[in-house]
Amino acid sequence: MPGPGGRVCAGGTGARTEDTDDIKEIEESVRPYREEAAMPAHILPGHHTAHPGPGPVPRDRRLPARITRTGPVPDTSRPAWLVPVIAGVVLGLYTVFLSHDNGFSEGSGWLLGLAAAVISAGVGYLLVRERNAMSAEVRAATFGALLGGSIGFLHSVAGGSWLRSSGIGLGFGIGMALVSYYVFYEHEH
């Protein structure tokens, strides 16, 4: 005969009784509420639509195309290299145009444009590829630094002094950082 709490009294077989099953069922149904009460208020389920804490937010929840021994192979259906390469080519060609207008020789103008295109496309690709590993603040600062450096460089090639080019690049970089931070922060929250 079961005793208090659903235990089997002396002489029993030790089998579970209905009371023990009812208690376990109640504990299972109450567990999510206990876990919810233990969470901080800003990450309660159903109360906050953003990610559960500070840091980067994954942009793509799709599974990778395949998994190898070294880890997942990223999905290449959306080429991450396309936008940085196009921006790098445009920056390189504009650098060639400005350098020809400001006294550079043909070869040095094309060499400067090629260097600007390769460096800006490479840095842009790294930023786009690693954007999910960065918080919104760091991402905004890096995109601002890339734009500010590019604009300052173009102004320098156009014949501006290094001080004026630095100031213009700094202004554009700060502007880009502020705008991109606003966009990233609003997208995450």
pLDDT tens readout for residues 50-99: 555 555 555 554 444 455 566 666 555 567 788 899 999 999 999 999 99
Query: What mean pLDDT do residues 135-148 have?
Result: 93
The fraction of the chain above a pLDDT of 70, given in percent, is 61
- Rounded CA separation 180/186 (Å): 10
> pTM higher than 0.75, yes or no?
no
